[in-house]
Chains A and B, each alone.
Chain A
Amino acid sequence: MRLTQGQFSYLPDLTDEDIRVQAQYAIDKGWAVSVEFTDDPHPRNTYWEMWGHPMFDNPDAAAVVYEVNECRKLHGGKYIRVIAFDASPGWESIRMSFIVNRPKTEPGFRVVRQEGEGRVVRYTIESYAVREPEGQRYA
């Protein structure tokens, strides 16, 4: 099951050139761009691991593509995303976020039903991947 989070996730995987152009858009807007990775794809997992610092002073997005590829070398079997952070006064907000790398197979999510008092049922989802310990998910 293909994970769809952030921008462009219904499109075919972005090429490095696609990534560069999108990241350049963010840089030209004055946003700090960073690279993050995770092996816990739950949609509420907003805190992915940071790959290096956010890039504040790189005028050219080749720097972002470079870091994405450096990250792929170590975490190529996980999800990697690029996010753009707007630090302008009054804002603390992610302006862009898109997946740039995903595991070869994505087993998806299962529904978990919890029966409560009376006939209440609580629903939640859990990714199959997190049944394995961190670092051992996605082969």
Chain B
Amino acid sequence: MWLIDSSIGRKVIMSVTGLFLVLFLIFHMSMNVVAIFSSETYNDICNFLGANWYALAGTMVLAAGVVLHIVFAFLLSYRNYKARPIGYSTQKNQKEVEGASQNMLVLGIIVLMGLCMHLIHFWAKMQLQEIIGATPDYEGQFTNGAELIRITFSNPYVCLAYIGWFIAIWFHLTHGIWSAFQSTGLNNKVWFPRLKMCANIFSTIIVLGFTAVVIAGYIHS
């Protein structure tokens, strides 16, 4: 199967799963921004998703995307490491080479660590509780997302950890978004600067949206 055993095929998997995760981030960010303006509406969205079959199906597809992206990230990185068994004593980059592109795995691992932290903070206290059928201590304990945001971000260190995570995501995406188009062949000399600009704009919007929610959560706590 060429998607698995050719270098370009593996990159197609990276880019398709990556772009899928970017779409998810846009959705997730738009949903979170609602919490800044209205706790009720935000909780309505949480209730609507909850642990319904469609939310669970979505979660499964998302998890599969994340797992595929990570498995192929390590697979590709391992092969790249093997392709250069002896390094250089000095290697310098020309100015066109961006740091993010050289460090996608490191950035990805930071993103993964942030993701674990985030799942413990929110998913484990909300959807997971519903899945395992835990009984809430009080009405709406597992669905009051707005309250959970305020509780979680009342701790300034948690806020800083999240912002650090978002910065890693920003770097990962400023390279990742245009790179995904290049990897699937959807690039040329005319579109390259446009795609780079789109990558910067989308990464910045996504990251600013998430950061705003953290800051609003801290202020309202």
Pairing of A with B: no
Chain A residues in the interface with B (C-beta under 8 A): none
